[in-house]
Amino acid sequence: MARGRSTLGPFGPEQRMWAVSLIGALKDLTVEEYREEERLWFESESEEVKSFVWVCQVLGLSKSRIREEVKKILEGDEQLIRKWRKRRTPDYKEPQKAA
């Protein structure tokens, strides 16, 4: 892949931003101190702006497929946990652990 090119598909700038947010939430599920907050976000049925359901609608993604992956991460699927910990996007910054 060429340097500087997005791996987030044919999304426009706003969709790219929400895709990065979704990827960040999946990555945060792999960090103990963020897990509960992210779990609640993924489980919510709210359709308000910025909610998980709303983000899925904006991106045209299946909320049930993503929730299946979330469930596996929460159950300790080491392969998925490693996958999401390694995942990088151009705009994503690693969460900082409290000292």
pLDDT tens for 53-86 read 999 999 999 999 999 999 999 999 999 999 998 8
CA 66 vs CA 4, 9, 97: distances in Å? 27, 17, 26
The whole-model pTM stands at 0.76
Whether 70 contacts 26, CB under 8 Å? yes
Q: What is the pLDDT of residue 88?
A: 73
Q: How confident is the model at residue 1 (pLDDT cuts 50, 70, 90)?
A: very low
